[in-house]
Structure 1
Amino acid sequence: MPRMQLTPGEEQAMRRRLVDAGLALYRAGGLEAVSFRRLADATGISHTLPYRYFADKDALLAAMRCTCVRAFEQVLRESVVAAAPAAAHIRSFAAAYVGYARRCTADYLLIFTTEQPSPARYPELLAARQAPFELAVVVVQATIDAGLLVGNARLVAHQFWVTLHGLMTLYTANQLVHGCTVDELLEPLLGGVMAANAGAHGSQSVEEVS
């Protein structure tokens, strides 16, 4: 019997279904729990059908990471819209970053785990990864335009990004064991980056962040 042809919309829906099922398996049992056989069992399809949509497990994981990164970006974007003054954007962005890593720790780890192929192998994932950082650049540029920071927006955004990522990497690895919590560390860390790049109204910016 010839294989039934699906419309592009139906294929996209099945792909999303498989990604969602893969994420459910991962969240319940980690990366080791994700396999095409278990994916097929979870969705009630043949064990060979997932290969029609994903070449291998790495391709499936890349699609799962895309979904997580886009959700992460949406959280960050909503935080910026909710903030008013330019200096508040950075604090709101940072709080959203930290909040996502706390609420969706498994997804955050999936996004940033070091045990994954280069994003360059998956252009869709690379583009998805770029979007949250580009939002950080926009936030920093607005703060520079307001005279609160000086310098190259992309370089300063990297400083904030590395600071937040380092903090939450320790948190998600349960390695904040030296007496300070995320909440106690976040404000001084942000204030340090702000002070290091303070503009004409730099003292005001540090006060607003701390």
Structure 2
Amino acid sequence: MPTTEKPYHHGNLRQALVDSGAELARASGPEGVVLREVARRTGVSHNAAYRHFADRDELLGEIAAVAADHLERAMRTRLDEVDETDPARRAAARLRATGRGYIEFAVAEPGLFHVAFCPLESGPHSKEDAGAYLLLGSVLDELVEAGAVTPADRVGADAACWAAVHGLSVLMIDGPLRDLTQEERSGVMEKLLTTVERGLTRR
């Protein structure tokens, strides 16, 4: 007699598949996200998984959104630690905090970090929809409001700051800086953040 597939009894299957995929991504990056393995770990057949996701790319897109959310939260955690009250110094400290949170997340969670920016067949990620990018923009706006950065220097600063911290993150997790000690890594990170801040706030 033909067997019938058992229904999923543990809540939202779509979310469970995303959660399982995120754990695979955490361990192995985007290459580790295989729909059949995600289904197996969730305890369902791959046919059940295909009822919720047309293909691996669609699942990977949802996992990328989860990873991006984790990245934004890491940046916000660092922002919450800023206790400076002077408007200009506070805005500068918040800029450094966003960069620090970004780089620290990349080093601590390289698998999720790679997934957050992995290319998708369905199309490129939209930076306008990325919470981390919007958060950076709001902090840069604070610098302008505080008089620490001119409106002219604000133009294009989002991409420049993003490129700086993203580039260092990649060098630390995949490139020649991956073997730095924690102390050395911290020193290079702070040097970069100081350089970015001084470049923006120069008179």
What TM-score results when the alignment is normalised by the length of structure 2? 0.79
Amino acid of the residue matched to residue 141 of structure 2?
Q
1:136 matched to 2:136: yes
1:93 matched to 2:92: no
Q: What does residue 149 of structure 1 align with? A: 149
Query: What is the CA-CA distance between 1:52 and the residue it aligns to?
Result: 1.0
**Identity, % of aligned pairs?**
26
Deviations 1:32-56 (A, max 9, x none): 4432222222112122011111110
The alignment covers a number of residue pairs equal to 189
What secondary structure sits across from 1:139 in the alignment? Answer: helix
Distance 2:31 2:101 in 1: 29
Distance 2:128 2:6 in 1: 32
Asked if the contact 2:29/2:114 (under 8 Å) is kept, the reply is no
Distance 1:126 1:18 in 2: 24
Match of 2:121 among 117, 120, 135: 117
Q: What does residue 206 of structure 1 align with? A: none
Distance 2:106 2:190 in 1: 17
Provide closer, same or farther for how the CA distance between residues 21 and 191 of structure 1 changes in structure 2, counting only shifts above 3 A: same
Provide closer, same or farther for how the CA distance between residues 28 and 163 of structure 1 changes in structure 2, counting only shifts above 3 A: closer
Asked if the contact 1:149/1:197 (under 8 Å) is kept, the reply is yes
Distance 2:94 2:31 in 1: 38
Asked if the contact 2:28/2:111 (under 8 Å) is kept, the reply is no
Query: What is the CA-CA distance between 1:185 and the residue it aligns to?
Result: 2.1
Asked if the contact 2:67/2:112 (under 8 Å) is kept, the reply is yes
What secondary structure sits across from 1:137 in the alignment? Answer: helix
What secondary structure sits across from 1:169 in the alignment? Answer: helix
Distance 1:75 1:179 in 2: 22
Provide closer, same or farther for how the CA distance between residues 129 and 102 of structure 1 changes in structure 2, counting only shifts above 3 A: farther
Q: What does residue 18 of structure 1 align with? A: 17
Amino acid of the residue matched to residue 39 of structure 1?
V
Q: What does residue 70 of structure 1 align with? A: 69
Distance 2:179 2:27 in 1: 30
Asked if the contact 1:100/1:108 (under 8 Å) is kept, the reply is yes
Q: What does residue 61 of structure 1 align with? A: 60
Amino acid of the residue matched to residue 159 of structure 2?
H
Distance 2:167 2:18 in 1: 28
Q: What does residue 164 of structure 2 align with? A: 163
Asked if the contact 2:39/2:45 (under 8 Å) is kept, the reply is yes
What secondary structure sits across from 1:95 in the alignment? Answer: helix
Q: What does residue 190 of structure 2 align with? A: 187
Gapped regions of structure 1 (runs ≥ 5): 203-210
Q: What does residue 52 of structure 1 align with? A: 51
Distance 1:110 1:97 in 2: 14
Provide closer, same or farther for how the CA distance between residues 164 and 30 of structure 1 changes in structure 2, counting only shifts above 3 A: closer
Provide closer, same or farther for how the CA distance between residues 130 and 24 of structure 1 changes in structure 2, counting only shifts above 3 A: closer
Amino acid of the residue matched to residue 82 of structure 1?
E
Asked if the contact 2:14/2:52 (under 8 Å) is kept, the reply is yes
Asked if the contact 1:76/1:132 (under 8 Å) is kept, the reply is yes
